[in-house]
Structure 1
Amino acid sequence: MRRAGHAEWTKLRTDAASIWLLLGVIALTMAVGAGVTSTARCDAAGCGGDPARLCLTGVMAGQVAVAVVAVLMVGNEYGTGMMRTTLTAVPRRLTVLSAKAAVLTAVTLVAATVSVLGSLLIGWLAGPGRGFTAAHGYPALSLTDGPTLRAAVGSILYLVLIGLLSLGLALAVRSSGTAIGVVLALLFVFPILAQVIADPDWQRRVQQIAPMTAGLAVQTTAGVGTLPIGPWQGLGVLALWAVAALTAGGRLLGSRDA
């Protein structure tokens, strides 16, 4: 496992596209979060804003780069034929899957942590100037605050789970383009579908099973009781999607030739 993990890390760090994409996770997440924070406004007490969630909005953009990194870890090998070399060097398919998942988790954790902490720092600096002050009922953002800490940790875990979900789907379909399309559809079609459903009960059910909508509930720090699903329960739904994708991808990896 150690040698397999080292091989996966070597392949990842020598791929310029993956390195730039990981830097893109940080840049996109922080830039979008800064843009949203700078345009938000709270002019009076009880304005209904959620400063933590606002500055973490960029996670929705950063997840796309995370998904592409995960897909390329598999798609590039199938596209170039390197997967045959990988499976010859490491015949145990479960070891290959575990090594890829471990390396992806490690690099995503680093990128996600920098992104989330940077976004919260921007919110801490810019929020008071946009009216999110103690006088309006919004103390400065702080990781010592339970809901804010949960939003931060949950956002990091969210990006990691998106990566693992994408890795599993890429192993299942074996094509980078197809896998990216499937991941993006899975993330963004559900929210669109929820908006066009007229029945409130069915709309709520769709939101409860949608990987992105349910997963990002963990960012909410205000009005949690109005969510279609609880913060940690929502992240659990995304975790189930990731486990299902990795299980399917792992089984197909073990049953098919490279």
Structure 2
Amino acid sequence: MARPQCGAIRLRAAWRGEWVKLLTGGPGPAVPLLAGLLIVAGGVALGRDAVDPAQLRLLGVRLGQAAVAAAGVQILAGEYGSGLIRATLLAVPRRLDVLAVKAGLLTALVTPVAVLGVGVAVIGLSPDAGMLRAATTSVLHLILVALLGLGVAAVVRSSAAAIGIVLSLLFLMPMLLRMLPDPDWQRVLYRLTPATAVQAITTTVDNSVLPLSPWAALGVVAAWSVGALALGALLLHRRDG
């Protein structure tokens, strides 16, 4: 019975250390999160007379995902850039605890930002099932994108490289897929890229014409995020252990 207790104590200490670094170590992920909040909430004046007002109101989610991805990258890759990661790894002997605590901290930071930004964006709309689903999946999508940024940062350990990879996945992938000569492969791979998720999760009218349903599209983003975190955890354990 002692091991779980020791593990819990170890994680609590790591958790406190991450909060101390966040509060005393400069802006860190705070700047991109603030930018993300403003961008996501910026659609509040759109979509009043549109066929799909929720989709227009949530237009900021498409751009805001870049900001939360940058926050996810910065919370880990920023320490590699500054050299602070050496102190972090000395203070937390179990390398996987580092990633787990950072993922928890990132989720705790992004969740209220996403809820507030999306809530402001859709304020005044009729709270029907479609709007509530679009708002809920938008919040979950922003959290998952932030975790994707963290996972990629754990893999490449460079802020510039990690942000470049995540933004390519979120924005450039559809354009690259159009270069494929086989249209069948284009359709298959298009459904598997996280770049297609925003349109699916924010659309509340004629969802049947989309390549994936909203929840299936969110599942694709979740799979990318879990995969990136798993690979990052493996490399962190082997490379920095």
| Alignment TM-score > 0.5, same fold | yes
Provide the residue aligned with 2:36 in structure 1. 25
Alignment of 1:234-253 (within 5 A): 234-253=217-236
Map 1:186-205; keep pairs closer than 5 Å: 186-195=169-178, 201-205=184-188
CA deviation after TM superposition for structure 1 residue 195, in Å: 4.8
- State the Cα RMSD in Å: 1.9
Question: Partner residue of 1:12?
Answer: 22
> 1:77-120 CA distances to partner (integer Å, 9 max, x unpaired)?
11122111111111111111110000001110010000000100
Whether the 8 Å contact between 1:13 and 1:19 is mirrored in structure 2 is no
Structure 1 stretches lacking a partner, 5+ long? 43-48, 125-140
| Shift in Å, 1:191 | 2.1
Aligned residue type for 2:84: M
What is the aligned counterpart of 1:58 among 52, 57, 60?
60
Are the equivalent residues in 1 in contact too, given 2:61–2:142 (CA < 8 A)?
yes
For the structure 1 residues 53 and 195, does the alpha-carbon distance in structure 2 shift closer, same or farther, using more than 3 Å as the test?
A: farther
Identity %: 45
Q: Secondary structure at the match of 2:29?
A: helix
Q: Runs (4+) of structure 1 moved beyond 6 Å? A: none
How does the TM-score come out when normalised to structure 1?
0.83
Letter in 2 for 1:229: L
Q: Deviations over 1:119-161 (max 9, x none)?
A: 001xx3xxxxxxxxxxxxxxxx233x11111100100000000
Determine if the alignment matches structure 1 residue 75 to structure 2 residue 58: no
Query: 2:186 & 2:178 partners in 1: Cα distance?
Result: 7
Q: Deviations over 1:37-65 (max 9, x none)?
A: 16x754xxxxxx21111100101111111
Q: d(CA) in 1 for partners of 2:112 and 2:58?
A: 16
Matched residue, 1:45: none
Q: CA deviation at 1:211?
A: 0.5
User: How do residues 148-227 of structure 1 correspond to structure 2 at under 5 angstroms?
Assistant: 148-195=131-178, 201-214=184-197, 216-227=199-210
Query: Which consecutive unaligned segments of at least 5 residues does structure 2 have?
Result: 1-10
Q: Is the 8 A contact 1:75 1:170 kept in 2?
A: yes
- Name 1:127's counterpart in structure 2: none
Question: Could you tell me which residue of structure 1 aligns to residue 119 of structure 2?
Answer: 117
